Amino acid sequence: MPNTVIRIRVASKNPVKVTAAHQSFNQVFPNHTIHCEGMETESGVADQPMTENETRLGAQNRIRYCRAHDTNKEEDYFVSMEGGVDDFEEGAATFAYVAIAGRDGKIHTGRSANLPIPDAVYLRLKNGEELGDVMDDLFKTDNVKQKGGAIGLLTNHRATRESTYTQALILALAPILHPDLYL
């Protein structure tokens, strides 16, 4: 059987997001060659989404932007990831929404687990700062959002931004893997 190529347009040029998309599709489709290419996109939401709804909308908007600006029409899938924060009953947390669309245009949306964030960090986010910048300041790192992210720093690198995105994307692929069950 010939090796099939799957072409993916990732709604970001952030290497963490492009790698997470590649890893997730590579795990789900191990007998295929996966080509991932990132592109800059607009989320249509704040740079630091502060609610679940805003974060979900940002991920979905990035997919729509990719599709609207797709010039070569060769992609099999469009993939986006949007990190956000919200204040839950258990306290403030960061998480990500992911979205995947195939050629049919249907958007499949998924979500990562919550990572609790300190109250002092959440306060800074409410005052207009972005999570990556706050974490860089607290941990004396540089551009952590294109590396392990707040997740890596707060878990002593036992989990990373990439691993969280990868897991959420794999889960969001379920309806694509079993379309007959998700009518």
How many whole angstroms separate alpha carbon 75 and alpha carbon 10? 10
Alpha-helix residue ranges (DSSP H) falling in 29-173: 52-68, 119-126, 131-139, 149-154, 161-172
More confident residue, 145 or 135: 135
Cα angle 143, 146, 147 (rounded to 5 degrees) comes to 90
Closest C-alpha to 22, from 8, 11, 12, 32: 8
Give the pLDDT band of residue 1 (cuts 50, 70, 90): very low
Instruction: Answer yes or no: is pLDDT of 2 > 70.
Output: no
The pTM (predicted TM-score) of the whole model is: 0.92
Determine the 3-state secondary structure of 88 from DSSP.
Answer: strand
Residue with tokens 């990572």: 115
Contacts of 15 (CB under 8 A, 6+ apart): 38, 146
Range with the lowest mean pLDDT among 6-10, 69-73, 96-100, 172-176?
A: 69-73
Mean pLDDT of 38-57: 96
Instruction: Answer yes or no: is pLDDT of 3 > 80.
Output: no
Closest C-alpha to 154, from 103, 97, 93: 93
Mean pLDDT of 54-68: 96
Beta bridge partners of 88: 91
C-beta neighbour count of 106 within 10 angstroms? 12
Q: pLDDT for 81-136, tens place per residue?
A: 999 999 999 999 999 999 999 988 899 999 999 999 999 999 999 999 999 999 99
